[in-house]
């Protein structure tokens, strides 16, 4: 009996905590995205600088490897630029934009081929391809805005999942209490 009360209490408390975290995530989505972006920026920038220093030390030990010096200097410069500018969001958005453009292009090409073959519902692939091309172009034209929008959407999805899971935990707790 005592174990049942413990499970019920744990389920309800966990449910309330998850719902609260989900609500906080939705309310503070912008600062959360900024914080996550800053953390990633510092980690990647730090790794680039350390890798650059290691490459330069390797060059100092063996001066025949000029490529190590060049890689080291470029790596340190990239790390510093990562700290100064939020390049990680830019890089991810550009990469995603290219992927969306290529995928959209393939979908459009396949839709046109399906139309020639008189396939049913070929226009669905055409619409999806056009959407991908538009999203890809937006990501490349305005990578920072696109990246921030994706980050906010990501936080909102996680927050909604937390809220739904919290409700499920609370329902689970109530159902166990009635057994």
- pLDDT at position 1, please? 63
The C-alpha atoms of residue 150 and residue 171 are separated, in whole angstroms, by 31
Six-digit token string for 110: 């396949």
pLDDT attached to residue 22:
94
Determine the Cα–Cα distance for residues 109 and 42; give it in Å rounded to an integer. 41
Residue 20: the pLDDT is: 95
Confidence (pLDDT) at 154: 87
Range of the domain at 61: 2-177
Please tell me the total count of domains within the chain: 1
Cβ atoms of 95 and 107 within 8 Å: the answer is no
Smallest CA-to-CA distance from 151 within 10, 33, 61 is with: 33
pTM: 0.65
Give me the tens of pLDDT residue by residue for the chain, a chain 179 residues long.
668 788 888 899 999 999 999 999 999 998 998 888 888 888 988 999 999 999 999 999 888 888 888 999 999 998 898 888 767 778 888 888 999 999 999 999 999 999 999 989 999 999 999 999 999 999 999 988 888 888 899 899 999 999 999 999 999 888 888 87
User: Cα–Cα distance between 101 and 95 in angstroms, integer?
Assistant: 10
**Using CB atoms within 10 A of its CB, is residue 166 exposed (0-12), middle (13-18) or buried (19+)?**
buried
């Amino acid at each position: 009996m005592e174990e049942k009360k413990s499970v019920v209490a744990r389920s309800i408390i966990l449910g309330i905590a998850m719902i609260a975290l989900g609500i906080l995530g939705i309310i503070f989505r912008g600062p959360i995205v900024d914080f996550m972006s800053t953390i990633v920026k510092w980690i990647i920038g730090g790794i680039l600088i350390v890798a650059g220093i290691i490459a330069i030390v390797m060059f100092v030990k063996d001066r025949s490897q000029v490529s190590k010096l060049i890689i080291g200097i470029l790596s340190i410069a990239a790390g510093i630029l990562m700290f100064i500018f939020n390049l990680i969001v830019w890089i991810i958005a550009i990469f995603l934009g290219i992927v969306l453009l290529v995928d959209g292009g393939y979908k459009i090409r396949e839709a046109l081929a399906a139309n020639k073959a008189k396939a049913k519902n070929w226009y669905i692939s055409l619409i999806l391809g056009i959407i991908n091309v538009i999203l890809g172009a937006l990501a490349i034209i305005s990578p920072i805005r696109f990246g921030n929008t994706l980050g906010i959407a990501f936080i909102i999805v996680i927050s909604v999942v937390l809220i739904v899971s919290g409700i499920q935990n609370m329902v689970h707790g109530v159902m166990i209490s009635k057994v």
